[in-house]
Copies of this chain bind each other. A is one copy, B any other.
Amino acid sequence: MFYHVKNLQYHAKPIRPDPIFAKKLQEILGGQFGEISVALQYLFQGWNTRGEEKYRDLLLATGTEELAHVEMLATMIARLLDNAPVGDQEVAAKDPVVGAILGGMNPQHAIVAGLGAMPVDSVGNPWTASYINASGNLLADFRLNLTAESQGRLQAVRLYEMTTDDGVKDMLSWLIARDTMHQNQWYAAICELEEKENIVVPSTFPRSLEKHEVAYDYYDLSGGTESKHGRWAQGPSMDGLGEFTYIANPKPLGKKPRLQPAPPYMHNTALPNPPHLPPMF
């Protein structure tokens, strides 16, 4: 269960409105690696955690913080949109600055949202749960979380480079610092799990059931040999259970498939002389 307080977790106040930047900032609110993604991803992972209370707590605490970041960004975007102009864009083009603002805005910020933030990314794609996952395997999920914080901090840093507004920069520098923490945090949790299990997810599948003979081969299926000298092509494997081998010219191991004709009730292409195939099964 949740409680809300009206104060923001950190300041979210620009020096001046900037509806063009409002559009761009949507990326880390409602984009693939934005705050809605991490908030819901961590919460779902937490709610689904079965029996590891330490990790459940970690997930729910961090997911709850991300909700505060959603709020900060929504607030900042609404303020960047303060009194954003609307009006005839072609006429406005005569004043290059007004024209640029009208041309650079997301038109839905005015038409749909009345100068408010939206759960969309920087080109207007609505947020979708296709972005996130909660698999029940914490090592798999913490890797997804570390990834999300890596991509998210990268995007925040790029946005930092795109503005000259000290208020926006102040907020971004705070969010970037939290992303630093969250990368450190998932990294720490991953180390803990990798030590207990193994680096290969899931660690519980008996290795005897996989085709061990291809489990450490590097197949170079793209011309050139630049990748030959990478760590992945020689030496003991990272999981300590094999030896990397470089295969310069990987050959197919399977046959050329021949599929059975479709039954007539499918009305696939009519075969005038359907081949007399040996029975497949």
Contact = CB atoms under 8 A, between A and B. Distances in A.
Interface string A1-25: 1111111111111111110110110
Given A184-B238, A223-B4, A114 B266 contact: yes
A107 B54 contact: no
Nearest to A104: B103
Interface centre among A3, A7, A216 (most CB of B within 10 A): A3
Interface in A150-165: 150-151, 153-155, 157-165
Contacts of A181: 214-218
A54 B79 CA distance: 20
29 contacts: A1-B7, A6-B257, A8-B253, A13-B257, A16-B281, A20-B90, A50-B115, A51-B271, A51-B275, A54-B229, A55-B227, A55-B269, A61-B220, A68-B221, A72-B254, A89-B162, A92-B100, A114-B135, A116-B134, A130-B131, A135-B151, A160-B205, A180-B216, A181-B214, A183-B201, A184-B199, A185-B218, A192-B231, A224-B256
Given A2-B71, A154-B201, A180-B239, 20 more contacts: A3-B5, A8-B254, A9-B252, A11-B254, A20-B89, A32-B133, A46-B222, A50-B260, A51-B261, A86-B161, A90-B104, A107-B123, A115-B136, A123-B124, A128-B130, A181-B214, A181-B217, A183-B199, A184-B216, A185-B218
Contacts of A213: 177
Contacts of A47: 71, 74-75, 78, 116-117
Contacts of A104: 89-90, 102-103
A256 B8 contact: yes
Query: Chain B CB within 10 Å — which of A216, A257, A270 has the most?
Result: A257
B5 A230 contact: no
A215 B175 CA distance: 9
Given A44-B117, A215-B181, A267-B137, A272 B93 contact: no
Interface residues of A, number: 210
B222 A61 contact: yes
A154 B103 contact: no
B61 A219 contact: yes
A87 B162 contact: yes
A104 to B, nearest CB: 5
Interface centre among A63, A122, A154 (most CB of B within 10 A): A154
Contact of A177 (B137, B202, B211): B211
Contact of A215 (B86, B180, B254): B180
B153 A202 contact: yes
Interface string A33-76: 10010001001101111111111111011111101101110110
